[in-house]
Amino acid sequence: MATASTVQLSAQQKFQFAVPDLTSDAAQTTSKLLQDNHEQHHIFFNQQGFHNHVAHHLVTIFALGASPKELQQQYANNQGYQRPLHRSASVQNLVFEDEAAIMAHLGKGRHYPDFLAFFQSEISKSSWQEVLQKYLLSGTALAETLFIRLWSSIYHPLIHLGFAIESAQPALVAEALAETAVHDAWIGNYLKPAEAAANGHRDRPSKSIVELIEAMHSDQTLRDAVRWSDSSMLRDGIISRAGERMVGYASQYQIRPMDDIKYKTAEMINAVAYFTGGAQRDDYEPKYDFYYIHSLNSSIFFSTFLEQEWLSDARRRRLLEWKVWNDLIMYASRKVPEPRLAIVRAYRPKQPSGWEQIFDRVKTTPDDGHAAKLVRALAHGQRVCMPYEDRTEFRLKHHDWLQLGHMAIDSIEAGGPTWVRSTGFDEAWDEVPRAQL
């Protein structure tokens, strides 16, 4: 049985996207490895705050049909560099007696073990759903700062929470909340004003996401706001130099109570795949941008949120609005490159196939999980966007998704840099091979 401290998956697991006929042996192996990661490893694998992706990776490739041997191998590939989950002597007896004590220790990575123990205890007293309602969605001062922190560090706390909810694992929910608690909150300097501005004119029709993407691409001021030398192109670039302008764009997107949130979710998924997959260069081999893929990899969980009966429509709308606003600033932060769909459609796969063969390749690719998450998110996107493909705001059509899947796995297997980092800059492409004519 899955508990706040025990991971237990099954072959009948209801994933948002999975191949048929998952096996009990694979479920047992995944559970064992996730349990080891839960008990032994910190959420950051170094002091710089680089994230432990073990849970993301294992759940993804289990859903894509990985065998026990493949699961063991991928865990072995990433286990060695993880940071132990030891409490330091200075915080060994830390107990969060009230919200003030919690607030005083937010944003400090060394307290991850303490927050993990706290949220495990809270979940054990009630349920993971009730704990998420209280500590993330209730609107208290603590819940609001945790909700902001959920969106920090290129979606990592959100992605971890998405996997926890999708797999219905209380132990992973505790990890996700503890991870959220040790992140900073500066992204709120953009997201809170965006929400306030959007609330100020909800009587106006919302722009589509691709309308905003295209307007942002044409904005020279926004393009010039980011510099290659920025430590954080989000914080030091867009928010610092063009924050009000960015809020102006974001606030033109809203979801009203009468809107079809299922359609709005599909629109978001299509739009992030459009600017992520389309961020290519004519003269270079295809590569995905490392930052953009997080917008895409996190998109799958918004279909999961739609299925959660414990989530109100108002909370689903807020989650989706913040996701779109975060996607827009992520797009801006890499110098607003033009999505080049013609490159995607002209691409010739190295090994033409269907999705199943791509899954077989990606689940054995030496990686930390980013590649497998990307492929699964693309396959899911094709499925959920299919009913809306005739709409102009859905720029990606049915066959584009498989093309993007081939581009993903081919680019990862090609060697050289696995990803480009900040694709709108010429410097990001310096080490990428030139396209073969």
Q: How many residues does the chain have?
A: 437
Q: Residue 356 contacts by C-beta under 8 Å, 6 or more apart in sequence?
A: 19
Quick: pLDDT tens for 301-319: 999 999 999 999 999 999 9
Give the pLDDT score at 90: 46
Q: Could you tell me which of 340, 305, 302 has the C-alpha nearest to residue 324?
A: 302
Residue with tokens 């260069």: 281
Give the pLDDT score at 418: 97
> Contact at 8 Å (CB) between 361 and 409?
yes
Ordered by start, the domain boundaries in the chain are 24-181, 188-429
Separation in Å, CA 262 to CA 142, 153, 266, 309, 388? 29, 27, 6, 14, 11
pLDDT bracket for residue 171 (50, 70, 90): very high
Give the pLDDT score at 161: 98
Give the pLDDT score at 83: 94
Give the pLDDT score at 94: 67
What mean pLDDT is reported for the chain? 96
Give, as one character, the DSSP assignment of residue 35.
H
Residue with tokens 């299509």: 270
Quick: pLDDT tens for 52-100: 999 999 999 999 999 999 999 999 999 999 999 976 544 455 678 789 9
Q: Residue 361 contacts by C-beta under 8 Å, 6 or more apart in sequence?
A: 351, 409, 413
Quick: pLDDT tens for 116-134: 999 999 999 999 999 999 9
The mean per-residue pLDDT over the stretch 203-225 comes to 96
**CB-based burial of residue 89 (10 Å sphere; 0-12 exposed, 13-18 middle, 19+ buried)?**
exposed
Give, as one character, the DSSP assignment of residue 90.
G
Beta bridge partners of 220: none
> Contact at 8 Å (CB) between 285 and 414?
yes
Separation in Å, CA 196 to CA 247, 256, 405? 9, 15, 37
The mean per-residue pLDDT over the stretch 163-182 comes to 98
Quick: pLDDT tens for 242-299: 999 999 999 999 999 999 999 999 999 999 999 999 999 999 999 999 999 999 999 9
> Contact at 8 Å (CB) between 112 and 44?
yes
Give the pLDDT score at 372: 98
Residue 240 pLDDT more than 50? yes
